[in-house]
A = this chain, B = another copy of it.
Amino acid sequence: MGTVRPDAQRRAGRPPQGVLSRTRITGAALELIDEAGYDGLTMSALARRLKVAPSALYNHAASKQEVLRWLQDHVMTMVDFSAFATEPWADAVRSWAWSYRGVFARHAPLVPVIAVLPVTDAADTLRMYEEVARGFLAAGWPEDRVVPAIVALESFIYGSALDVSAPSDIFDSGALAGEFPLFTSAVRSSTGSGGNAADAAFRAGLEGLITGLDKQLAD
């Protein structure tokens, strides 16, 4: 009764100072994802966390897709590409790729978003590409083959990030096992050796790619 509640309703109209910004929206989105996953990331939930009406978000972001783009650019800053400044090419690629996959395994729903996403104005993403390109050039890669090689590595990384979230029994052939004996047995013998299946596949593919790309360069 007459007491001012700590988070009193804001009434309509322009507030004394802006309460929203790209930074605040991105930060709230990230918290929401950590707590409730990507299913929990709705414009309503985002607004609730920021203590605004859902429609207020549209004064800053043109669409939910734009929020996802901000998120992608921010998440990219979590990828560690520092090895390109110090390590030989193969070691730098290896440590960058493992970090990159780890980050996007926790943000798998961003992977399909990235594919359709122009890098324009994604400054943090460009910062990474610049440094990676520098590493490739320093290792003697011809300029016109740098981008295809990076894209090839990224395609493998994104596909592998999706694979991390696969259930461990994804290759359980169930009742049909009898019809597909070779594959069923191969699945059994690969899981039998212990360790994470997704990690084993990523290691095999990454080492293969590094070796193969290096050999392409030498020829």
Q: A193-B144, A212-B212 are in contact. Are A183 and B133 (CB under 8 A)?
A: yes
Name A212's contact: one of B133, B173, B210 (CB within 8 Å): B210
Name A147's contact: one of B162, B186, B203 (CB within 8 Å): B186
Judged by a CB distance under 8 angstroms, whether A200 is at the interface is yes
Q: A155-B162, A156-B156, A211-B215 are in contact. Are A171 and B119 (CB under 8 A)?
A: yes
Residues of B within 8 A of A121 (CB): 174-176
Chain B CB count within 10 A is highest, among A117, A148, A206, for: A148
Residues of B within 8 A of A156 (CB): 152, 155-156, 159, 205, 209
Binding-face segment, A4-12, A63-71, A108-116: A108-116
Name A163's contact: one of B115, B130, B187, B207 (CB within 8 Å): B115
Minimal beta-carbon separation of A193 from chain B (angstroms): 6
Residues of B within 8 A of A175 (CB): 120-121
Judged by a CB distance under 8 angstroms, whether A24 is at the interface is no
